Structure 1
Amino acid sequence: MTKIFKFFLVTLFPFFCVFSQTQNIITPEGYILKDVELLGDYNIDKKTALQLMGLSIGQKISSQEVASGLKKMWQQDLFADIQISKVITPNDEIILKLYLKPSLSLLKFAFNGIKKGDEDNLRDKINLNSGMTVNDNLIKVSQQKIEEYFVEKGFLQVSCEAQTIPDSVNNRKVTLEFNITKNARLKIKEINFSGNQSLKDSKLRKVMKKTRQTGLRYLLSSSKLIEEEYQKDLINVINLYKQFGYRDASVVNEVVSITEDDKLIIDIEISEGNQYFFGEISWLGNTKYNSQELTKILAIQSGEIFDETLLDERLNMSRNQDDVSALYMDDGYLFFQVNPIETSIDDYNMIDLEMQIREGKQAIIKNIVVKGNTKTNDNVLMREVRSLPGNLFKRSDIIRTQEEFNRLGFFNPEALGVNPIPDPQTGNVDIEYIVEEKPADQIELSGGYGGESYGFVGQLSVAFNNFSTKGIFDKTTWSPLPTGDGQKVQLSAQAYGRRYQNYTLLFQEPWLGGKKPNAFTTSIFYSLSRPDITNEAIENPRQLNRSGFSLGFGKRLKWPDDYFTTNLSLNISDYDVSNWTNLFSTFNINIAGVLSRSSVFNPIYPRRGSKFLLSAELTPPYSLFSGIEKDEYIDMPEEEKFEFLEYYKIKTRGEWYTELASKLVLKTSFEFGFLSAYNDAVGIPPYERFEVGGDGISGYSYNGSERIGVRGYPNETGSGSEGGGGLISGVGNEGQPLYSKYTAEVRYPISLAATTTIYALCFAEAANAWEGFDTFNPFEVKRSLGAGIRIFMPMFGLMGVDFGYGFDPLYNGQKPGLVTSFTIGQQF
């Protein structure tokens, strides 16, 4: 308030002085203006002065007209000072004498006493330009912005002095210098509370999100005092009291003091007041549902601590959508309103409430409009809409539609919005959904050079996630490729030196035919493995060529609910092997079925929901109809037994996301899988097994085995004469037929912007692999702890790094210790 008063005083003082003079020099009846004389270092002529004042020679003027004219001159911002005097002639004529001091013009400005980084930031903040008029107001406002900038950085005792230096060539132009003294940065040493009998200091400090005292507990938090944030935190303190029934709680006094060692101590005095409780709750105006049903939904009992936040949540918008409003709005009552009225407070601070309800009539959806989809076609969005025209309005359908928009991955989840446009007269409502496109295509690139023996090492993947085959011949849809139909095209290549290369091309249509959510997926792949290429002494190096394709068909189910999907695919691959001792040429034809359920709608940073997957991969049981006896299989070479691979593989995976606090998320998950044989005499093939350990992406797998990442354990730690692959279990290059994995991970976002999502995490992980169920022990696992960070940019996908410490020795007795794992294009 003091600063505002000073501002007006500096700005308007000259005008008040001049105006008071004009009141005394001219009578109310007025005089004829004979002439105007200009004095001082003026830069205008008489004609211009009269135009600026809105006066003319020969005009009869009063004191009010002179004051108005002077005000107009001030408003032109051309003068630093204007003074007026008068000469009255015998003929009732008046001559006005104006003393004018022109305003100074800004030539340039500079800062003294600060670093270049601060200078650059301040230039943007104060926004001064050459040619601007330099006056007291401009200087004061600039000083204020400079001081505010440093106060926000913790320099509460900053001072800024300004001086104008005339130009040597033109004395009306000046250089404006700001001499800044930051003084010591003041951090908050202590935040103390008094008067708080019910809540501990530590609990109150915890809700002060932006005002933190120094200490190990708040190591990653700022301990600066920013007035605006501090006032918000005081409100948080009072809101916490209200959650415990102290609705009269208030801050009665606060003192900020500076210690001798330039630290801040904040003392806050609290008046708690009385604690209140819910009393009797009654309902008025409800005809659709009886009072007993509404009380059950409200789930608040007499005698519970009075919490306005809880009451509002149970009435209007609970996280689980089980509030009173949801009951009505899911039955079309868009115009439903409930207003809790306090009817009495007894001597025991029990508050009786009457819930006054206005049900209104049921609303019918008339039109659906989507705005903001500049790339994605309307039909892609409209097929995800659950709130259809002609149906009753349902709040749950609105929320589910937004979740489905989010699941597409084409829009900024923080910008999704909905705008119901009701017409109370007709009972109809238009639903307007708001979306904001974000880049959906991704490129994933990592690589390096492994020397002459290996060559290039790395991988490249390009994914177009909102592709349109229909738009190939329509140039208006190219951006830079045809987009808008939600189809996916992905091309990936991987090279591990000259020893291994893999190429994959995939196409997916999520709505085959455009009428139902039936997905079609097809892919082809080719890989080349030559592990001996670095050993010139071997005359017949090993080589494995693997190629194949797959066709898949997926469907969204309606039972048990429409979060379930199923997928069935035909997979064919050929293994062409040369000079291998324990691998051989073979052919794999299998059918894979997947049943999955997902209630996670933000794939980048989910805060709630779960995922579950159960899959089965089955080859034909050739041995059961081959006519060969079991005894004959025992002595049969493996390349004859597995001319066509024969096995079945079962896997299951579950993930749960729980928001522990605002944006702080706990992820828990498990995985389990096993490979088995139809015929024990045939046994399990050396292909399609599980390799457990490492980051899950480094290195390569040449025999079709799956890599199961376990942070805190290194890549390629298997044994065997033919290369790694066993990793944790150490079984040579084939992997193991059974594994399990368990993960707990806590995440917190650093940025949730549309262009970049960044979050930090800490994790506990455990996994192992076994030869079969006879040796399986779910508690005999390799454990690790660690922390990491993830960065998602729409163009480059998900990238991350983890630092994990493995506690348990590997199969060879080696202790893994601290291991760094990298993530590219996947989530653990």
Structure 2
Amino acid sequence: MKLLLNIKKENDDLGKQVNNLVKNTSTSTFLKYCLTILFFVGCLNINAQNSDFSKGKKYTLAEISVAGNTAFSEQTIITYSGLRKGKEITIPGEDIGNAIKKLWNSKLFSDIEVYVTKIEGNVAHLQIKLADLPQLNELKINGVKKGKKEGIINDNKLKKGTKVTENLITTTKNFLTKKYKKQGFLNTKVHINTIEVQDSIDAARVNMVLNIDKGEKVKIKDITFEGNTVLSDKKLRKSMKGTKKINRIRILKRSKFIDSAYQADLGHVVDAYKENGYRDARILSDSVIYNDDKTISLIIGVNEGEPYTFGDIKFIGNTVYTNDQLSRLLRIRKGDTYNGILLQKRIADDTKPDAVDITNQYQNNGYLFSSINPVEVSADNNIIDIEVRISEGKPAYFNTVSVVGNDKTNDHVIYRELRTRPGQLYSKANVVRTVRELGQLGFFDAQEISPNFNNPNPVEGTIDMEYSVKETGSSQIELQGGYGGGGFIGTLGLSFNNFSIKNIFNKEAYKPIPMGDGQKLSLRLQASRFFQTYSFSFSEPWLGGKRPVQFSTSLSHTKQFLFNPLTRNADKSRSFNITGITFGLAKRLSVPDDYFTLSQAISYQRYDLNNYNTGLFNFGDGFSNNLSYTFGLSRNNTSVDPIFPTGGSNFGITAKFSFPYSLVNGVDYKPLKEISDRINAIPRQLRTQEESEELANADQQRFSWLEFYKVKFSGEWYTEITKNLVLRPKIEFGFLGAYNNARGVIPFERFYLGGDGLGNFSLDGREVIQLRGYPNQSLTHLDETTGRASQDGSSIYNKFSLELRYPITLKASAKIYALGFIEGGSSYESFRDFNPFNINRSAGLGIRIFMPAFGLLGIDFGHGFDPLPGETVKHGWETHFIIGQQF
């Protein structure tokens, strides 16, 4: 900013002093001296057109003109300056100084000059000459990826038309430099150049070139400590979670220097001392040394202080719980090494909402307004006496409980899952459990569920509870096609996971389908030249609406046609039909706890073969009936998000069995079994026609009504190792048995191990067990007659799996996480061959993508370390595509 005063005076020395002050003083400082300068100028003869006016003389303003490069109208500038025609001002005086300040503070101009152009008696003419700040015309950013440029523009407000000031340039440089240094780019350099647009007529415009040179991330060569004798450098480095020195064999933690992580880790070093009794430990200094090999070394000076132990620990103010009860929760005794971090966690562990600590003990029993504060009352002789001061307050009760954000899901579907009710005693555990139950529904974004405490009233002992949810797509569509099994396979599947069957005849409820009652309805059609499969299923999670009893039913029909090798087409006169129906009930239990579910189901399948002779069964004409009862007991307490659990476990055991017909039908199956065993020992290609027919008749009698029992067990755990890094071990076991050894194990309901675990069009009730790194269904037991994996499946299997998962994004639109896995498993025909440690091993990497409209999708790259049954060379790599299921 300049105030142009053409100074003509007799005292040239004074004029030089004033001009030097204007020239050498910064803009912000000049404002402070503006009035002072005017005061000195007042003693001078100020000349614009060889006119003189004396010190402090009052003038009436006549014309006020505007000149210079500006896009603003003359009237706008004059009005904003506060000067107006006819106004009486003092020249020199405060009026012109204030006008200049107003114009400058508008932050619209880069240069402001005020001239006295004419003096006629007591009338003065002024001219305001100014130049607009240049506007940003074009911006070019060099040195970053295209996808990052938009963020830089938004963060620094570098949109086209923005006024370009020195402050804008300086703050942009500082922001970007600090941003990239925080990310580990310590050598970041930012340069900004502006170029005037020559064809600019109406307004000043500039093009900006933003050059960013991040350089390489700086790695930490070494971390050393000075002043430490109690804890070694190794232990102190271990306490630093995000700052690690170069270690070639470490995978999960990188050695890049991140300043924010480093500052946090300095606090972790102090915490390491506090956990070992050194409560006075502190950081004395920390230095960053730049090495010649472009790495850095960190030198941290510490003062360890002296060790302390716990003395007397007293509880003050407690009436609800006795001292002994609180001591058992605190689990710290007199004489223990002082550990301030542990003490705070035992009082209130902020890292675990369901932690076993004193605060939760109070809050889970209604004392929301309680406060517990440990106070050190004495530290004599390095023995610290603690008083745990407790203010219990009044028990709190829920006044109102509400839910907001459910646009599709009906209120009653949500409210029946709530563990907090109006008038009920407050319990933090019930709030945490409610959040889990709402997340497990699958209708809301589990990451966005928020319990909000409104209107807390410690005097009345009441609290209003509001659960905020965000609806997410809960229906899925499966539409795919592919080539397999000798022809094109098309699939259409619809799954409505928040269906409302009561509104199925209500036209107004179709938006696009009736939704909101939490029911599930699935329809699926899969067809090719060789098979057709139709299935329908429905479930109601709260049968009757008063108890969490789930009713489910499913109906399916499959027709498989035999391949004709002569015509290379389907022979529709030879078919295998399966029709099945299932009814099930599942009830949530309260004992041993309410994470348990008891399920029961009755199912019936009819297997009908019409001249369908293959190696799958020993008879080609006939039928089998499968009437079975399934009993299951499971416990699932996994954390909020069912797609990406971070804690808890999921166990399940099921027993499926048929009626023991051989005990009551009076049939002697021993001769039939002998016929089957004798002929099965003969390779298929060497059997006579009579032997094949004899075997078919024997097996038709043995398996007209299937007699079996099947037991399965699975268990998985989720443990968050560090923030969002989740370890999931899992074990599985299955066994298919027979009541009557003479009747034998049925050829249906068997286990097929290996591959991606997708069953496709399984015709015989088989269960396909995933084991990545090997071809699909390739790890069944060895067939002694062929020397390869049996085509008939296995009656026993076991599997062990270990996965490490890390989320890329957990947004509602798409949840994506990467995983690494190691697993192994094997299958057997009988217990005499069973060896749970003789397994096929594999390892690999994968990724999962969950989109509400399409379900779970993924791909795995697995490496099999062992040969397939009957082979001698390890299998190697396999690629698996995962559709619609989660492992």
TM-score (norm 2): 0.83
Question: Does structure 2 conserve the Cα–Cα contact (< 8 Å) formed by 1:212 and 1:218?
Answer: no
1:57 and 2:85 matched: yes
1:176 corresponding residue in structure 2: 207
1:313 corresponding residue in structure 2: 345
Matches within 5 A, 1:198-597: 198-206=230-238, 208-217=240-249, 219=251, 224-317=256-349, 319=352, 320-347=354-381, 349-421=382-454, 422-444=456-478, 447-450=481-484, 454-457=486-489, 461-473=493-505, 478-494=510-526, 498-530=529-561, 532-533=563-564, 536=567, 543-577=575-609, 578-580=611-613, 582-583=618-619, 584-597=622-635
Q: Distance in 1 between matches of 2:535 and 2:365?
A: 49
2:700 corresponding residue in structure 1: 639
Q: Which of 620, 626, 644 is the matching residue for 2:665?
A: 626
Instruction: Name structure 1 gaps, 5 residues minimum.
Output: 1-8
Question: Does structure 1 conserve the Cα–Cα contact (< 8 Å) formed by 2:752 and 2:780?
Answer: no
1:156 corresponding residue in structure 2: 187
Question: Does structure 2 conserve the Cα–Cα contact (< 8 Å) formed by 1:762 and 1:786?
Answer: yes
2:13 corresponding residue in structure 1: none
Q: Distance in 1 between matches of 2:402 and 2:73?
A: 62
1:31 corresponding residue in structure 2: 58
Q: Distance in 2 between matches of 1:198 and 1:473?
A: 77
* Residues 81, 764 of structure 1: alpha-carbon distance in 2 compared, 3 angstrom cutoff: same
* Residues 373, 149 of structure 1: alpha-carbon distance in 2 compared, 3 angstrom cutoff: same
Matches within 5 A, 1:708-747: 708-717=769-778, 732-747=790-805
**Same amino acid, percent of matched pairs:** 36
1:12 and 2:28 matched: yes
* Residues 776, 426 of structure 1: alpha-carbon distance in 2 compared, 3 angstrom cutoff: same
CA deviation digits over 1:373-422, x for unaligned, max 9? 22222111110111222222222211211111121122222222222333
Q: Distance in 1 between matches of 2:594 and 2:73?
A: 82
CA deviation digits over 1:805-824, x for unaligned, max 9? 33333321243233333322
Question: Does structure 2 conserve the Cα–Cα contact (< 8 Å) formed by 1:544 and 1:576?
Answer: yes
User: What amino acid maps onto 2:359 in structure 1?
Assistant: S
How many angstroms does 1:286 deviate by? Answer: 0.9
How many angstroms does 1:614 deviate by? Answer: 1.8
CA deviation digits over 1:516-572, x for unaligned, max 9? 111111111122334635664899796322121211122111222211112222212
Question: Does structure 2 conserve the Cα–Cα contact (< 8 Å) formed by 1:193 and 1:270?
Answer: no
1:102 and 2:141 matched: no
1:690 and 2:723 matched: no
CA deviation digits over 1:458-496, x for unaligned, max 9? 75543221122234455665453222211112233456x
What is the RMSD computed on CA atoms of the aligned residues? Answer: 3.5
Relative to structure 2, which stretch is displaced further, 53-62 or 366-375? Answer: 53-62
Question: Does structure 1 conserve the Cα–Cα contact (< 8 Å) formed by 2:753 and 2:777?
Answer: no
Q: Distance in 1 between matches of 2:698 and 2:634?
A: 39
1:66 corresponding residue in structure 2: 96
1:749 corresponding residue in structure 2: 807
How many angstroms does 1:329 deviate by? Answer: 2.1
Question: Does structure 2 conserve the Cα–Cα contact (< 8 Å) formed by 1:11 and 1:137?
Answer: no
* Residues 439, 96 of structure 1: alpha-carbon distance in 2 compared, 3 angstrom cutoff: same
User: What amino acid maps onto 2:654 in structure 1?
Assistant: S
Instruction: Please say which structure displays the higher CA radius of gyration.
Output: 2
CA deviation digits over 1:631-659, x for unaligned, max 9? 56546711122222222222222222233
2:198 corresponding residue in structure 1: 167
User: What amino acid maps onto 2:773 in structure 1?
Assistant: G
* Residues 744, 223 of structure 1: alpha-carbon distance in 2 compared, 3 angstrom cutoff: closer
SS of structure 1 residue aligned to 2:756: coil
Question: Does structure 2 conserve the Cα–Cα contact (< 8 Å) formed by 1:717 and 1:725?
Answer: no
1:605 and 2:644 matched: yes
* Residues 227, 768 of structure 1: alpha-carbon distance in 2 compared, 3 angstrom cutoff: closer
Q: Distance in 1 between matches of 2:480 and 2:303?
A: 59
SS of structure 1 residue aligned to 2:375: strand
1:791 and 2:824 matched: no
Relative to structure 2, which stretch is displaced further, 528-537 or 517-526? Answer: 528-537
Q: Distance in 2 between matches of 1:823 and 1:729?
A: 30
1:707 corresponding residue in structure 2: 768
SS of structure 1 residue aligned to 2:432: helix
2:37 corresponding residue in structure 1: 21
CA deviation digits over 1:702-737, x for unaligned, max 9? 2111111122222243799xxx999x9955332112
Q: Which of 712, 731, 740 is the matching residue for 1:651?
A: 712
Q: Distance in 1 between matches of 2:64 and 2:787?
A: 102
Q: Which of 799, 807, 830 is the matching residue for 1:772?
A: 830
2:840 corresponding residue in structure 1: 782
1:679 and 2:737 matched: no
How many angstroms does 1:30 deviate by? Answer: 7.4
Question: Does structure 2 conserve the Cα–Cα contact (< 8 Å) formed by 1:801 and 1:823?
Answer: yes
* Residues 230, 685 of structure 1: alpha-carbon distance in 2 compared, 3 angstrom cutoff: same
Q: Distance in 1 between matches of 2:711 and 2:592?
A: 22
* Residues 600, 328 of structure 1: alpha-carbon distance in 2 compared, 3 angstrom cutoff: same
Q: Distance in 2 between matches of 1:522 and 1:135?
A: 70
Question: Does structure 2 conserve the Cα–Cα contact (< 8 Å) formed by 1:477 and 1:483?
Answer: yes
Q: Distance in 1 between matches of 2:236 and 2:361?
A: 35
Question: Does structure 2 conserve the Cα–Cα contact (< 8 Å) formed by 1:33 and 1:56?
Answer: no
How many angstroms does 1:597 deviate by? Answer: 1.4
2:729 corresponding residue in structure 1: 668
Question: Does structure 2 conserve the Cα–Cα contact (< 8 Å) formed by 1:647 and 1:677?
Answer: yes
Q: Distance in 2 between matches of 1:553 and 1:19?
A: 89
SS of structure 1 residue aligned to 2:869: coil
Q: Distance in 2 between matches of 1:207 and 1:461?
A: 52
User: What amino acid maps onto 2:441 in structure 1?
Assistant: L
Instruction: Name structure 2 gaps, 5 residues minimum.
Output: 1-24, 44-54, 676-696
TM-score (norm 1): 0.89
How many angstroms does 1:254 deviate by? Answer: 2.9
Question: Does structure 1 conserve the Cα–Cα contact (< 8 Å) formed by 2:576 and 2:612?
Answer: no
SS of structure 1 residue aligned to 2:336: coil
* Residues 257, 719 of structure 1: alpha-carbon distance in 2 compared, 3 angstrom cutoff: closer
How many angstroms does 1:365 deviate by? Answer: 2.2
SS of structure 1 residue aligned to 2:219: strand
User: What amino acid maps onto 1:255 in structure 2?
Assistant: S
Question: Does structure 2 conserve the Cα–Cα contact (< 8 Å) formed by 1:500 and 1:528?
Answer: yes
SS of structure 2 residue aligned to 1:194: strand
Relative to structure 2, which stretch is displaced further, 626-635 or 414-423? Answer: 626-635
Q: Distance in 1 between matches of 2:190 and 2:124?
A: 49
Q: Distance in 1 between matches of 2:587 and 2:421?
A: 21
* Residues 115, 337 of structure 1: alpha-carbon distance in 2 compared, 3 angstrom cutoff: closer
SS of structure 1 residue aligned to 2:590: coil
Question: Does structure 1 conserve the Cα–Cα contact (< 8 Å) formed by 2:169 and 2:192?
Answer: no
SS of structure 1 residue aligned to 2:832: coil
Q: Distance in 2 between matches of 1:337 and 1:792?
A: 42
Q: How many residues align?
A: 812
2:51 corresponding residue in structure 1: none
